[in-house]
Structure 1
């Protein structure tokens, strides 16, 4: 007889004392008609239970800080026992025993796996999927973390994809904005019987939608005059995009034209995630990676093998100016070309320091990584991120997504093991104080990193600047490279001119 997947669930509960459903025998359904639910659970510690229907049960994770629409937020998701499908409708109080506390139906809907075999994806430790919920929408992925020491639990990361449903910078805004049940309109106190009065109607307002085919409908005040940059007509050229810095759409377009000789080769022929802010950095911003109506005609819409929706791509220099006209302030290319989508050619390590660390610590970390990567027979390059960190970028050849990700993880985890007081590979901000977060998750299919020479949608209009290793030393100021100052570097030799020629095969795991 096949093992009962719900045996661990039932063994932990006394159904004479709990209102939780015991559950019927698991029944499988078609892979394209699967349910998901998120339950806010006020137990020993408040958390959100994330559940995906698969194989006739609800695969379940306890997301300690709840889901976020911010792609930069990698939320810890602890794998727990499978739950019966009937649990997807449960809301109430668990009086005593395992999981005692109040459970609220926070979100629900359907989900679609990206592949035809999501069970195999889970087994491999990486599941990509799309949610169609009342509050959670768009692309997401779950990534299993490597176990640490004697750790018994299985930890994953729940991460929002960079797409039209993403809200960069939102962090916990979604959780703060939705505090009642999607089923009954009650909050946790009402469910627990701690307050009187009728339940409030469920809030119908979904998370703000981002139409991938058009910018958010807002009244935009700017000049109606037209100018042309690199043959591209600009509407409202005097619209401020970085208002505090006095930088307009025309300034951005002229910057794109000026730096195209170095920026264009970095993004040409690659799927892109674009951070759009049509009303400037103080207005609404959103990631767009898919094509559709309303896309600038200067952009190419491609559908690489294995992708269900078209992706955006730049195939001619003037398309960079088209991005400025379209309100795209940041350019994030994939580490693979569309024509060779299964063969990534860039390994990217993101050094993200804790707020309490000086930039000198990041410089020191980059030099340590340079030495380690070079010892592997690879040739690393360094650039600023336009923020508070640095990127180590390594040209590679003959890699698969698995070998790329595994190698990046091995490099970072080795450095963490060598100096755990200085480095961490955990995205949890609770353990990052005084440390540099070594992020290797940009080395997966669908992931991206800001392009060299791309502006950032941040105060100061900083850009991600390629560096000569001789510049990576004490005194390096990443804020010195801005949309206004960067073009002056075009007069000097390109420190990355040998990047493509420096590609080497990844070393085999020893």
Structure 2
């Protein structure tokens, strides 16, 4: 039988809790759900108001994976669904997760959480910018840290504050809180920064996605600022061989990183980091920190 759990008055059927989702570490689905319950407060802060896309991996990272923006079949009536533009002529519906029952329902589907840089009440008006630093082997997150430090200073010159998290894969994400700005304008500014980074650090940075250009360099991916694109949400688990998390990091950790393993965080690491640091990305949610795109 599937156990029925009550979460804040909502009845949830949480299934296959003993199922091993991450064979490399033996991590079960029950442990994944426990992780999301522990990190619900900061994760919900970053999900709230944003239409969700799901990368589903119900049989673990080695099984089938599929990306969906549409509300999954069987979405409960109490989960918020909002209409969002999909193109100039079409709209669609997407889930918005804003409370613990909705979060645990979604986590039970086994998903990565992905969100756009804008909120559902202001489509295509970005309140943050993201630069995804993706290392091409043999480059690693260590090289990403060097590029991140340069970008932080460059953004500061424009009066903008940058905050960082691991991608949960191999790279880093830099996030910048903004006054609501059209996504097209943020995209153009992000691209200009990537081009400038390549000009300043030509041996280390590439701003174009072409695979042939990327070995040994850090690709500064500016494309996720487009209104139609999404980025892994802070604190989401990733469908990787181990249960790694897209985890906020300090600038001190970035400055001192000299080994890739130093910036790999798994689900068991996050509770202690939250106790020590709180939500390092909290300033993204504070209008006082929002900057203006030049």
Q: How far 1:400 sits from its partner (Å)? A: 0.5
Cα distance in structure 1, aligned partners of 2:176 and 2:124 = 17
The structure number with the bigger radius of gyration is 1
Cα shift at 1:383: 0.7
* Matched residue SS, 2:191: helix
Is the CA contact (8 Å cut-off) linking 1:229 and 1:254 kept in structure 2?
no
Matched, 1:482 2:266: yes
Matches for 1:68-217 after TM superposition, within 5 Å:
none
Once the two structures are TM-superposed, the CA of residue 244 in structure 1 deviates from its matched residue by 2.3
Q: Residue 166 of structure 2 contacts residue 263 of structure 2 at CA under 8 Å; is this kept in 1? A: no
Listed as ranges, the matches of 1:430-509 within 5 Å are 430-473=212-255, 474-475=257-258, 477=261, 480-494=264-278, 495-501=280-286, 502-507=289-294
Question: Structure 1: 5+ residue runs without aligned partners?
Answer: 1-223
Q: CA deviation at 1:485?
A: 1.8
Q: What TM-score do you get using the length of structure 2 for normalisation?
A: 0.90
Q: Distance in 2 between matches of 1:375 and 1:441?
A: 22
Q: Does 1:326 align with 2:109?
A: yes
Equivalent residues of 1:353, 1:389 under 8 A apart:
yes
TM-aligned CA distance change 1:406 to 1:421, over 3 Å: same
One of 379, 384, 398 as aligned partner of 2:166: 384
Q: How far off is 1:225 after superposition?
A: 4.8
The CA RMSD over aligned residues, in Å, is: 1.8
Do the aligned residues in 2 keep the contact of 1:229 with 1:321 (CA within 8 Å)?
no
The answer to whether the Cα contact below 8 Å between 1:225 and 1:237 also exists between their aligned partners in 2 is no
Alignment deviations for residues 244-278 of structure 1 (CA, whole Å, 9 cap, x no partner): 21112211111111001111111111011111011
Q: Which runs of 5+ in 2 are unaligned?
A: none
Cα distance change, pair 258–229 in 1 and its aligned pair in 2 (3 A): farther
Do the aligned partners of residues 295 and 470 (structure 1) sit closer, same or farther apart at CA in structure 2, a change above 3 Å counting? same
Residue 480 of structure 1, CA deviation: 3.5
**More helix per residue:** 2
Change (3 A) 1:398 1:358: closer
Whole-angstrom CA distance in 1 between matches of 2:181 and 2:149: 24
1:479 CA drift (Å): 5.4
Is 1:237 the equivalent of 2:237? no
Residue 406 of structure 1 deviates from its aligned partner by 0.6
For the residues of structure 1 that align with 2:73 and 2:168, how far apart are their CA atoms?
31
Is the aligned partner of 1:428 residue 2:215?
A: no
Count of residue pairs brought into register by the alignment: 283
In the TM superposition, residue 227 of structure 1 has moved relative to its aligned partner by: 5.8
Q: 1:292 to 1:453 in 2, by over 3 A?
A: closer
Partner Cα separation in structure 1 for residue 76 and residue 265 of structure 2: 28
**Separation in 1, partners of 2:217, 2:160:** 26
Q: Tell whether 2:98 aligns with 1:315.
A: yes
Structure 1 residue 462: Cα displacement: 0.4
